[in-house]
Amino acid sequence: MHDNIIYSIVVPLYNEELVINESYKRLKEVMNTTHENYEIIFINDGSIDKTRQLTEELCLNDKNLKLINFSRNFGHQCAITAGMENASGEAIIVIDADLQDPPEVMLEMIKKWKQGYDVVYGKRAKREGESFFKKFTARSFYRLLKNVTSIDIPVDTGDFRLIDRKVCNTLNSLPERNRYVRGLVSWVGYKQTFVEFVRHERFAGDSKYPLKKMLKLAFDGITSFSYKPLIISSYLGGISLTIGFISIIVNIINNVLSKTNILNIGFAISIDFIMFGFLLSCMGIIGQYLGRIFDESKARPNYIIENIVTSRKDDD
């Protein structure tokens, strides 16, 4: 690796055999135009296709590359955390491998960084080639998160962003698990700005973010930055109690005033379902927090590195 690395490009990879070569080519083309030293750090997040093999081949022939192989799949947020913890640059840029985040936008980010900004995040002006479901859920989630949290996490931004070395050091010093990195970047403060870009269609392959992973990320985002769901669950308890009391009073009055009982068994069962529904959702919300506290208390690392591959030329 070079001394005095200015830029570290952090690229998480999970089963990206169809995009890795093109991604490498485009990143390199763009970074070469800066005429400054850079490194590209690929994090292979436990891929089970040829991603590891292909990336190792690239690394062995390019001294600007570094590959971190995880011992298994730890998830996108852990992969970018590892990249940030292993970066040596003065500015660190996190970018997806699938070319949905156009590498050319990195140059605009660099321009803003040189103007003195510490964080330059990519704001998605438009999303191309993604399903209605993905766009709708992402849009709703970013707005929900904005409403429930007290810190200002910008809407429609992913993890595509540039951070200054001092921001990276601050983030690396935060020991928390179940990380929602883009939220942490907002939380740490510093001088932040954004560049707008059109998010393209994936270059090849399918999304590596199935609904289950999206939900996990959403819960990490909300629980890391807000107690509001817990507060809402206590309100739900109050509403539920009120419904219960009203239905009892109505039942008594009805029994006293007339002989026809409108509170039949069906009605009673519906009330039971509503009550149990409220109760279980509230327990679920508490469980989301409790599970994360459990993770913190175990204090296991966020990821395990199996090995790091760099250019053979380094050993000469």
Which residues, 6+ apart, have CB-to-CB distance to 265 below 8 Å?
Answer: none
- 100 makes contact with Mg ion (CB under 5 A): yes
Q: Are 119 and 84 in contact (CB under 8 A)?
A: no
Place of tokens 């989630």: 141
Interacting residues with ligand UDP between 123 and 142 (CB under 6 A): none
Q: State the binding partner of 179 from ligand UDP, Mg ion, none, CB within 5 to 8 A by kind.
A: none
Name the burial class of residue 297, with classes exposed (0-12), middle (13-18) and buried (19+) by CB atoms within 10 angstroms of its CB: exposed
Given the rule CB under 6 A, which of 33-41, 103-111, 119-127, 203-211 is the region that contacts ligand UDP?
A: 203-211
Q: Are 65 and 294 in contact (CB under 8 A)?
A: no
Given the rule CB under 6 A, which of 81-89, 201-209, 229-237, 252-260 is the region that contacts ligand UDP?
A: 201-209
Task: Classify residue 228 by its DSSP letter.
Answer: H
Q: Which is nearer to ligand UDP, 83 or 89 (CB)?
A: 83
- 100 makes contact with ligand UDP (CB under 6 A): yes
| Residue span 12-51 as binding mask against ligand UDP, x where in contact by CB under 6 A, dash where not | xxx-x----------------------------x------
Separation CA 176–CA 168 (nearest Å): 15
Q: Are 99 and 23 in contact (CB under 8 A)?
A: yes
Given the rule CB under 6 A, which of 69-77, 238-246, 278-286, 293-301 is the region that contacts ligand UDP?
A: 69-77
State the nearest-atom distance from the C-beta of 138 to Mg ion, in Å.
11
- 220 makes contact with ligand UDP (CB under 6 A): no
Q: Are 36 and 106 in contact (CB under 8 A)?
A: no
- 39 makes contact with Mg ion (CB under 5 A): no
- 98 makes contact with Mg ion (CB under 5 A): yes
- 97 makes contact with ligand UDP (CB under 6 A): yes
State the nearest-atom distance from the C-beta of 159 to ligand UDP, in Å.
8
Which residues, 6+ apart, have CB-to-CB distance to 32 below 8 Å?
Answer: none
Q: Are 76 and 84 in contact (CB under 8 A)?
A: no
Place of tokens 């999970």: 14
3-state secondary structure of 273: helix
Q: Which is nearer to ligand UDP, 75 or 229 (CB)?
A: 75
Name the burial class of residue 310, with classes exposed (0-12), middle (13-18) and buried (19+) by CB atoms within 10 angstroms of its CB: middle
Residue 205's H or E segment, with its range, is none
State the nearest-atom distance from the C-beta of 244 to ligand UDP, in Å.
42
Q: Which is nearer to ligand UDP, 217 or 285 (CB)?
A: 217
Among 73, 170, 226, 302, binds ligand UDP (CB under 6 A): 73
- Binding site residues, ligand UDP, CB under 6 A: 12-14, 16, 45, 73, 75-76, 79, 96-98, 100, 207-209
- Binding site residues, Mg ion, CB under 5 A: 96, 98, 100
